[in-house]
Amino acid sequence: MASVPSLASSLHQRIADALSAALPEAGAADPLLRRSDRADFQANGMLALAKKLGGNPRELAGKVVEGLPAGDLIKDVEVSGPGFLNITITDEAITKTLAARAADERLGAPLAERPGTTVIDWAQPNVAKEMHVGHLRNSVIGNSVVRLLEFTGEKVISRHHIGDWGTQFGMLIQYLIEHPHELDHKAGGEVSGEEAMSNLNRLYKASRVLFDADEEFKARARRRVVDLQAGDEETLALWQRFVDESKIYFYSVFDKLDVEIRDEDIVGESGYNAMLAETCRMLEESGVAVRSEGALCVFFDDVKGPDGNPVPLIVQKSDGGFGYAATDLSAIRDRVFNLKADTLLYVVDVRQSLHFKMVFETARRAGWLTDDVKAVQLGFGTVLGKDGKPFKTREGETVRLADLLDEAVERASAIVREKAQDLTEEEIAERGAQVGIGAVKYADLSTSAARDYKFDLDQMVSLNGDTSVYLQYAFARIQSILRKAGEAAPVAHAELVLAPAERALGLHLDQFAATVAEAAGEYAPHKLAGYLYQLASLYTTFYDQCPVLKAEEEAQVENRLFLCDLTARTLRQGMELLGIRTPERL
Ligand code: ARG
């Protein structure tokens, strides 16, 4: 494992050194280096600096050029315009750096020197409820962020804060007591996720009807909530049956989504039950929370309702019940003090931003969150239908996640079937799933999480444009070239002159590690997705312009195979960090 400095960072260092030598009073100044169309890189830093210190930028740029060491890295550097530097890298440096990346399993990406512990709250559906497109987002984004963070060496603990507690369970449990065989499974028969959910739906609807129509049932259901909260054994055992039935369903959807969830990481709202009273007591004793109309509340100067009155965070209701906030505050105590987190990350809908703002602030006042602990909500936007409104069925109901995934897989399978005639039905099914699910995930990950996006299956499974299918095809095409290469192997030849398309591809390949670091650091998988799309596009151009197996000399064949191979490995690693499969053949 060897971390490989990128050409951009080496160049940055050299220019920064030359700059501080030319202008010692500038201190450690940023040369503002970026990729450019005119040369490989452009440095703009001299402009601002000369302006600030009252010098002539072109003169300063000239001095920097004189101070730059010639040779291995820089082929050409010129002062242009009002005082930019245009810099061209040597072909040799490009190929050598790429060879160093290729020699490393991690493609030269460094591991964090002092990794921290992040507890990430993601994939949190609700018991006895259908999963919808919102759960698609917290699962897909969460999964990619976990992968990105783990790749950087961070210790990551997942917490699936499922909604498995609350008054609705009184109604469900009471109904089950009165209709005892409603959740029974046929002897020896395995229940599918779909069956599990339809059982739960049936029960939910039937109990709801009774609850609304029958005052006596309603009273019994309310008493059942009290029993549940008091930890009555029979009641808890029945509650557990709902949780278990729901888990059968959750796991079937996660399985479809190709997202791995570990049972020990599912710590739902109920998991913090034993802490709730203490959490409230601590808040009240420290004065962070106060009684207001019987409820225990935390107030904020900047949180007011439309009427101008303050809107408090309610940690305990006036009837003594604990809500969502008490649970989240208890979870913070657990995550900081027991799990020793230094970062708390929540992949949750932006519509819960106010909740998290108030919860974090409360935890800071209580001293549970200190300056050493970062708490971040990675808030995601809404999934919209083609009409730009929140995604609904034609009947106006929320769209079931499982149905969407099935449809995506169906469409992708049709494409796979049409393209590859020599595949068996089994292979078509497997690849159809990899392409279809990949398409849904990629569409979700390729725009920044905070933004809403339109769920458009036609666009998602399209072979052209910014889709995972395009990336998967690029990968599969490279694999096919590598298979056809026969005796010829991918070997880097640093002495070769590179064609423009090879240089462009090479310089982009070199940015992989830096891109991953940025995407992980900002919890921004979309930056990685954008990078990969550009990589596939640059590869397409390279493939059009530079014959690989039919190149003139053997060394060139080998070097181009080397570029193909490194592109494929980079694509695969990048897609893996997004949680998307890259089939060898398509
Ligand atoms: N179950 C909630 C929902 O479906 C999300 C839970 C988010 N996590 C948390 N710690 N509050 O909206």
pLDDT value at 447 more than 70: yes
d(C-alpha 109, C-alpha 113), whole Å = 12
Half-sphere exposure of 25 (CA within 13 A, CB side): 7
Query: Measuring from each residue's beta carbon to the nearest atom of ligand 1, which residues come in under 6 Å?
Result: 121, 124, 126, 161, 163, 328, 331, 346, 348
Whole-number percent of the chain with pLDDT over 70: 99
d(C-alpha 370, C-alpha 567), whole Å = 43
Whole-number percent of the chain with pLDDT over 90: 83
Give bridge partners of residue 120 from the DSSP assignment: 158, 345
**Which residue, judged by its Cα, is nearest atom 8 of ligand 1?**
161
Inter-CA distances, 208 with 129, 435, 446, Å: 13, 40, 40
Average pLDDT over residues 53-70: 88
pLDDT of residue 29: 82
Mean of per-residue pLDDT scores for the chain: 94
How many angstroms is it from 150 CA to the middle of ligand 1? 23
355 CA closest ligand 1 atom index: 11
d(C-alpha 386, C-alpha 389), whole Å = 8
pLDDT in tens, 532-557: 999 999 999 999 999 999 999 999 99
pLDDT value at 15 more than 90: yes
The length of the chain in residues reads 586
How many angstroms is it from 349 CA to the middle of ligand 1? 8
349 CA closest ligand 1 atom index: 12
134 CA closest ligand 1 atom index: 4
d(C-alpha 499, C-alpha 543), whole Å = 12
pLDDT in tens, 290-348: 999 999 999 999 999 888 889 999 999 998 889 899 999 999 999 999 999 999 999 99
Q: How confident is the model at residue 568 (pLDDT cuts 50, 70, 90)?
A: very high
Max avg pLDDT among 93-107, 394-408, 422-436:
93-107
How many angstroms is it from 404 CA to the middle of ligand 1? 21
The count of other CB atoms within 10 Å of the CB of residue 355 is 17
Can you give 537-580 as a three-state secondary structure string?
HHHHHHHHHCCCCCCCCHHHHHHHHHHHHHHHHHHHHHHHHHCC
Placement of tokens 């499922």 in the chain: 162
Q: How confident is the model at residue 48 (pLDDT cuts 50, 70, 90)?
A: confident
d(C-alpha 256, C-alpha 237), whole Å = 29
d(C-alpha 80, C-alpha 61), whole Å = 9
Best of 267, 327, 352, 383 for a ligand 1 pocket test (most atoms within 8 Å of beta carbon): 352
DSSP label at residue 114: S
d(C-alpha 507, C-alpha 97), whole Å = 10
Tokens, residue 23: 């202008």
Tokens, residue 240: 């557990």
Name the residue type at position 320: G
Average pLDDT over residues 92-105: 98
How many angstroms is it from 239 CA to the middle of ligand 1? 19
H-helix or E-strand spanning residue 501: helix 500-509
Domains of the chain plus CATH, in order, are 7-89 (3.30.1360.70), 386-457 (no CATH), 463-586 (1.10.730.10)
d(C-alpha 123, C-alpha 117), whole Å = 19
Best of 161, 315, 324, 350 for a ligand 1 pocket test (most atoms within 8 Å of beta carbon): 161
Residues 6 or more apart whose CB falls under 8 angstroms from that of 239 comprise 169, 173, 228
Kindly give the pairing relationship between strand 295-298 and strand 290-292.
antiparallel
Q: Give CA angle at 492 (488, 493), nearest 5°.
A: 100
How many angstroms is it from 322 CA to the middle of ligand 1? 15
Average pLDDT over residues 522-539: 98
**Which residue, judged by its Cα, is nearest atom 9 of ligand 1?**
161
How many angstroms is it from 163 CA to the middle of ligand 1? 7
How many angstroms is it from 383 CA to the middle of ligand 1? 17
pLDDT of residue 235: 96
pLDDT value at 486 more than 80: yes
d(C-alpha 342, C-alpha 332), whole Å = 11
d(C-alpha 397, C-alpha 416), whole Å = 31
The count of other CB atoms within 10 Å of the CB of residue 53 is 12
Best of 124, 165, 357 for a ligand 1 pocket test (most atoms within 8 Å of beta carbon): 124
pLDDT in tens, 178-231: 998 888 877 667 889 999 999 999 999 999 999 999 999 999 999 999 999 889
Tokens, residue 173: 């449990």
8 and 513 in contact (C-beta within 8 Å)? no
How many angstroms is it from 124 CA to the middle of ligand 1? 6
d(C-alpha 10, C-alpha 474), whole Å = 30
Question: Burial, 427: exposed, middle or buried (Cβ in 10 Å; 0-12, 13-18, 19+)?
Answer: middle
pLDDT of residue 323: 87
Read off φ and ψ for residue 318, nearest 5 degrees. -65, -25
d(C-alpha 529, C-alpha 311), whole Å = 39
Of 37 and 539, the structure prediction assigns the larger pLDDT to 539
Read off φ and ψ for residue 384, nearest 5 degrees. -105, 155
What pTM did the predictor assign? Answer: 0.95
DSSP label at residue 191: P
325 and 332 in contact (C-beta within 8 Å)? no
Read off φ and ψ for residue 564, nearest 5 degrees. -60, -50
The four Cα atoms 285, 288, 290, 295 give a dihedral, to 10 degrees, of: -100
CA proximity to 525, closest of 49, 143, 203 = 143
Which segments of 213-363 are extended strands (E)?
Answer: 290-292, 295-298, 313-316, 343-349
Looking at the predicted complex, does its ipTM rise above 0.90?
yes
pLDDT of residue 1: 67
DSSP reduced 3-state for 323: coil
119 and 344 in contact (C-beta within 8 Å)? yes
